[in-house]
Amino acid sequence: MGMKTLKRFLAGLVSPVAGAWMGAALLVAGCASSTQITGTWKSPEAATTSFNRIVVTALTDNVVARQTIEAHLQTQLQQRGVTAVKSIDMQPPGLIQNNQSNPDAILEKIRGDGHNAILTVAVVDKDTETRYVPGTTMYAPMSRFGWYGSFRGYYGYMAPTLYNPGYYTQDKVYFLETNLYDAASDRLLWSAQSESYSPSSLQDFSEKFAELTVTRMQEENLIK
């Protein structure tokens, strides 16, 4: 993991087929949605390093997803006193799609603007889990003598008992990787792995994910 570089990531960002992910898929309603960080890695080089000017970027060709996730990460960083810039403002989608830029140019712009780190987010895998939702029986209130002594009465007694059959449903699980690169050295200093289970919407996922990620960065003394 330590050999990953920022330039290699930026090469993926420039590619017109880079990381088709989340976007509309996150709009599928699920059961009990949740997002959590499952693990982190920190380079020994980051032991005495913290950053205060960060470029945030979501590796996706879905413009709405990119804008939403970058905006929430930017907000969380700014609330902690960090100067944060969205990559979509520095590198509009049109330039990437038309391949009018390159990794070296992007990296030089980041450095030239005084930023000392870049935070990247990408979905690295996704899975589908099938689960069974049991049926339910519901009872409606009945009159005191409504069922007794006749078919109509008995039918009236039984009819209020309603049954909804069980069914199978599928939940989506997304596995994400968040990397923090040192802009000066072009080296990976920190990485976090996250899971998002059955997200109900892009907005809800993005807000929770950004809060969890930046909070963990602060706890690990990566920002100042």
Q: Residue 50: which residues within 8 A CB-CB, separation 6 or more?
A: 221, 222, 223, 224
Query: What's the pLDDT at 45?
Result: 87
Q: Residue 185: which residues within 8 A CB-CB, separation 6 or more?
A: 45
Give 158-170 pLDDT, tens digit per residue. 555 556 677 776 7
Q: How far apart are CA 69 and CA 72, in angstroms?
A: 5
CB 41 within 8 A of CB 82: no
Residue 131 pLDDT > 80:
no
Query: What's the pLDDT at 99?
Result: 47
Query: What's the pLDDT at 156?
Result: 61
Q: How far apart are CA 23 and CA 69, in angstroms?
A: 10
Give 55-78 pLDDT, tens digit per residue. 999 988 889 999 999 999 999 999
CATH number for the domain running over 6-129+170-219: 3.40.50
**Which residues lie across from 167 on neighbouring strands?**
133
| Domain layout of the chain by residue ranges | 6-129+170-219
Q: How far apart are CA 135 and CA 133, in angstroms?
A: 7
Which of 220, 163, 223 is CA-nearest to residue 37?
Answer: 220
